[in-house]
Structures are given as C-alpha cells and as structure tokens.
A and B are shown apart, each in its own frame.
Chain A
Amino acid sequence: MNPILSFIVILIGVYGLATSKNIIKSVFCVTIIEAGTILLFLNFGVYEGGLIPILNAIGIEIVDPLPQALMITTIVIGSTITSLALMLCIKIFHHYGSIEWKVVLKGDK
C-alpha cells in the first residue's frame, strides 16, 4: 500500500478539522487523523511476503514487529481520547443545549 494513501487520509482529517462546525465532527476528524497515522506507520514496517513476527522465527523473513507493537498502544490511546471527548460532548450538550462550536464558544461570555 502506498504511503500517499495514508497521507490522503490524514489530510482529509485536517480538512475536516478546519471546516467542521460541530464538536462531534471535530472529534471524529481527530480519529481520522489518528487512523491515517496508524496506517502510515504500519505501512513502513510491512513488505510483501513477510511473515508474522514470532520470537523463534530466526532465518525466516519476518516483518518489522516494532511498528505493530507501537501502533497497538496508539490505538488504545486513541480510543481513550475519543471516549473522553464524547463524554465531554454529552456534558456540553446538557449544559448548552447544542454541540455547535459557535454556540458553545459564545456560550455565557
């Protein structure tokens, strides 16, 4: 898979962040950026015909295990952030009655 594709995913996320007027949309744009990042990193470690990285498999051509280990951590962090952000969205909706950035940021100031 081409790294250009994952960059396109990241750029879609960035475009969404710069245009979306809804908090939940912004949250998902962050998630999209993260998905693109994960794709990008996994892409670097994998090549065609590589096998699963298992410790005793010396002499066999295996893929680089480090990106996979790191990306699992990133996925966990990403889910934490998404859930926290959605929780905040619910609370914001209860307080302001809306999840538009415009309404919320004007709010009570």
Chain B
Amino acid sequence: MFLAPVLFVFIPIIASLVVYLFKHKLASYILFAAQIALFVLFALYIQALETNPELSLIVFGGWDEMFAISFYNDRLSLIFIGLTIFMWTILMMYTFKTNQRENKFLFFLMFLQGIFLGLIQTNDLFNLFVFLELMTVLITILISYKKTGPSFRAGIYYLLLNTVGAMFFLIGIIMIYYVYGTINIQYLIQNIDLHSDENLIKLAFVMMMSGISIKAAFFPLFTWLPKAHGVAQTSISALLSGLAVKGALYMFIRIYLEMFSKANYNMSEFFFYLGATTAIVGVTFALTQKDLKQVLAYHTVSQIGIMVMGVSSVSDLSYVGGLMHIMNHALFKSLLFLGAGLVIYGYQTKKIYEIRGVFKSMPWTSILLIIGMLSISGAPLFNGFVSKTLVKYDFKGDLLKMVLFTIINIGTVTSFIKFSQILYGPKVDVMKRKDALQILSMTILGIGCIAIGIFYIPFGEFVFGKDLSYVKIFDIRQWIDYITYVMAGMILYRYVIQRDFKPLRLIREWTITFENANYMFILYMVFISFFMFFR
C-alpha cells in the first residue's frame, strides 16, 4: 500500500506498453484489467489513508525530503485521482470497439492516463513541468491522430502555444528556486513569505500564472481550445474538455491558492472578473457557432470561467462549488460530447441546421443529451444546479456580480435551446453502430449527473467533507429563476440568434493568427504584471 501512488502512474503505462507490443486483439482487454486494478487500488489506498495519514507522502530514493522527488496526496488530489480513473474507464468503454485494432491509439490514450495521474500527485514543481510537457506532447499526438489537414493544423497550434506557456512556467520555477533553494511544494507552502526579494517572487508568480492561464484557456488565451476540440475524435474531445483542461485548473488551485496563499497577493477579485470575462466571451462565441462540436468547445471555455469564479472566491462554500463544478462539468460535458459524436456519426455532418429529428431516430441518445443539456444549463434536480448555486453563495449580495452570473446563465440556456433544435423533426434513417458499450458508458454518465443532482448532501460529505445543505433543490424561487432563464433564452433565440444578424456572423468568422495569439499572451502577461506591481 505504501507504493500505491507510484502504481497509479505505472499501471496505466505498463498496460499501454503491453497493448503496444502485443498487437493481438486479446491484448487490448488488459486495459480494462488495468482500470479495475486502479479502482481497487484507489479504494484500498483511501481506506489505508484514514488509518495511517503518513501514507500521503512518498519520497523516492531515500534522499532528504527537501531535495528528493516526492508524491503527496491530500483531499484535492484524491478527488482528481478518482475523477481521472472514472473518466478514463468511461472513455475507454466508449472508444474501445471502434479503436480496438488501433493499438497505437490505445497506447497513447492509456499512457496519457499515467502522466495525468503523475501530474496530479507530484509534490515537486519541476516534475509538475515535466508531466505538463509530456501531457502536451501526448495530447498533440492524440489530436492529430486522424491524420487530416485540420487535425495537423490544430495539433501544431496547440503544441507551440502550450509549449510557450510551459516555458514561462519553467522560468517562474527557476526564479522560485533561485530565491528559496527548493522546489518542493509542501516546503514552499509553509515558507513562501520568508524571502528576501519581494519583486522576484512577484515576477515568478506572474510567469507561472501566465503559463497556467494558457493551459487552462483563460480569456484572451483560449484560442487553441476550440481548434483542438473541433477536429479531434469524439472521445479525445470529451477527454480534453472533461479532464485535460482540468489538469491546468488543478495547478491553478495548487499554485495560486495553496503555494502563494501566505504571500497575500489579493488576486481573488482579479481572477473572479477574469473568470466572468472568460465565461461571457465563451458563451458569446458559443451562441454564434453552427457546428455541434464548436458549440460544446466554446461552452467548455465558458464553464471554465464559472469554475475559476468559484475556485478563486474567498468563502469556503464557493470554493467547494468551483471544485464540484469541475467534477460535474467532467460528467455532463463528456456526456454531451459523446452523444454529439453519435449524432455526428449517424448524420455524417456537423452542421446544427442540417441535423433534424434526432429524438425520433435515436431516442435513447437524445434522452441522454437532454440530461446533459439540463445539467449544463443548471436545471434543479441535476448536478449543474448544485455547483452553480454553491458558486453563487459568495456574491449573492453583490449586484454587479449577480448580473454577470445571470448573463452567463441566460447565454448558456440560449445556446442549448439552439443545440436542442436538432432533436425536433420527423424520423430520419441514420447510420448506427451496434455497440452496447458506447450506450452503456453514456448511460453511466447520465445516471451520475442525476444522482449527484439529487443526493448531493451525502456526496458532498463523502467527497468534500462539507455540509452542502445550503443548496435546496425544492426551493420554489430557484425553479422560478430557471424558468425565467429559459423564457428569456427562448426570446433571445427566436428574435436574435435565429435571424443571424451581421455582428453574429462577424463573431463566428473571427479567427486569430498564431502571431496575434502570442501578442495576446504578451499583453496578458504585461497586464498581470501591472496589476501585481503598480496596484
């Protein structure tokens, strides 16, 4: 049990190597064996942690704790580990039958899980950078796996932009090492205020935050995300939205909220408004899109904004709300992506206005899609509602912030009213895969959405150790709020979005060149620096 954190990293990697080396069909079943082993190990590890808290830290090589490479697990990383293993199992089930012969694809997919689990557990800033870069390389390969022109284009855009971000993250690490002489995160958490050079630490903070912001797709830097999501395979899009972006959010929590918490930079307002801007811009772009996957991709941007709004807030309950939104978003966004993948396969097109009659031709898929849509728009009884209400807790008295949040909500509802147009219409003959595993994996996600939405109190107590009874699903005001949003959304859809005015077309056709994306990055860094130094 002592070695469990290491096994989390190595079980997927060894399984992936087996799949890669033995090209036989039977070998690919080892992936499920590996997932089951991970689940069992995870459960045992949690139990062992309760009796013996010393297991949370594991130091490699017998060196002094301060210099050695080490893994550290607390509640935050355990939540992410559980989510990772669960999501990978689901995606493996979804993609297994179609990709069983593609042993290279399965190799990269499974290898990525090991890297991701390492990223989450590491207690060392440099290892964080190494895992981050490995993740970038693997995701690039997975994005371009289709071997079409657009996928290579998206791959190189993603690779270069994210590498620049990671390099600036590394420069931040170098400054931290120069000042403190250690890059152990736990040491830095305790000693971040013991330094001689205030300005250098501030500069390091700016560099690291800019690097993370690219990875996490904050407002001016999200341009790689829709490109990458639009062209990748369905399961990879779901993976990117559901987890890979959350890896950067995990780093955001670790580094901004934990490492620099003693330094007291008071950036929570800044990050709140950054999150709100991200959410509003994401929703605006999503409203104008005509492509099923692009709508969902831009919604990932907007939901990341909501997570940042929750996570960066001061109060405890809102922080839990942000964290819970990360989990919930992983569930419902992957559900929507996987469902959209089936629809796209069935109709052989991605255009929203050409797909009609999904409800009659694919009933079960469309029921699951409806569950996903209700969750993402925050309907009561679904999981999105719980976390959005918790995020709202911090600023329920603040008019401006409430207005911003309401705009985001109405935008989300409107774009999913647009999305739901594909359900109406007469029955059409569509192509269907005979694959029970795909439907099963989506059904598990759908059940998860509803179960968390109803049994959120025991769930919150078990996962976050917090009493979530502040959220009341049968409060009549919440229902009225939601119905108001839906009505406003319908009016907005009917009279603005459907007519496709010129500004909407301009927003839809807006693209950014790579040079300008880098300008944006420099401007963003300069902006944070001004905010940090001349406030």
Mark A residues whose CB is within 8 Å of B.
10, 14, 17-21, 23, 26-27, 30, 33-34, 37, 40-41, 44, 66-67, 70, 73-74, 77, 80-81, 84-85, 88-89, 91-92, 95-96, 101-102, 104-105, 107-109
Contacts and interface: CB of A to CB of B under 8 A. Distances in A.
Nearest to B511: A105
9 contacts: A17-B518, A21-B515, A33-B164, A33-B167, A73-B130, A81-B137, A84-B141, A91-B152, A92-B153
- Which applies to chain A's interface (DSSP): helix, strand, loop or mixed? helix
Given A74-B170, A105-B153, A81 B141 contact: no
B153 A107 contact: yes
B167 A70 contact: no
Closest A-B pairs by Cβ, 9 of them: A95-B149, A17-B518, A88-B156, A18-B518, A41-B174, A91-B152, A77-B133, A101-B514, A44-B178
Given A73-B130, A81-B133, A107-B149, A37 B167 contact: yes
A107 B514 contact: no
A10 B164 CA distance: 11
Interface string B114-153: 0000000000001000100110110011001001111011
Given A44-B177, A80-B137, A81-B133, 5 more contacts: A17-B518, A18-B519, A84-B140, A105-B513, A107-B150
B352 interface: no
A101 B137 CA distance: 21
B513 A30 contact: no
Given A18-B519, A19-B515, A20-B515, A84 B160 contact: no
Contacts of B167: 30, 33-34, 37
Contact of A66 (B67, B152, B511): B67
Given A37-B171, A37-B174, A73-B130, A23 B149 contact: no
A92 B144 CA distance: 11
B130 A77 contact: yes
Interface in B206-246: none
Contacts of B380: none
A49 B65 CA distance: 29
A18 B522 contact: yes
B159 interface: yes
A15 to B, nearest CB: 9
A105 B149 contact: no
A43 B526 CA distance: 25
Contact of B514 (A44, A84, A105): A105
A88 B126 contact: no
B171 A17 contact: no
B22 to A, nearest CB: 25
B152 to A, nearest CB: 5
A102 B82 CA distance: 43
B277 to A, nearest CB: 22
A84 B514 CA distance: 18
Nearest to B230: A109
Nearest to A67: B177
Given A81-B159, A92-B149, A96-B149, A40 B171 contact: yes
Contacts of A17: 160, 164, 514-515, 518
A44 B170 CA distance: 14
Given A40-B171, A84-B137, A92-B149, A23 B519 contact: no
B100 interface: no
Nearest to B512: A105
B152 A37 contact: no
Given A17-B518, A95-B149, A101 B177 contact: no
B446 interface: no
B152 A88 contact: yes
Contacts of A33: 164, 167
Contacts of A14: 518, 522
B365 to A, nearest CB: 28
Nearest to B525: A14
Given A21-B515, A37-B170, A88-B152, A70 B126 contact: yes
B60 to A, nearest CB: 14
A88 B171 contact: no
Given A30-B160, A88-B152, A10 B133 contact: no
Interface string B156-175: 11011001100100110010
Contacts of B174: 37, 40-41, 44
A108 B178 contact: no
A74 B160 CA distance: 16
Given A40-B174, A81-B137, A84-B141, A23 B156 contact: yes
A101 B140 contact: no
Contacts of B150: 107-109
B149 A108 contact: yes
A3 B224 CA distance: 32
Contacts of A101: 513-515
Given A17-B515, A101-B514, A30 B164 contact: yes
A104 B153 contact: yes
B522 A88 contact: no
B515 A92 contact: no
B293 to A, nearest CB: 13
Interface string B282-324: 0000000000000000000000000000000000000000000
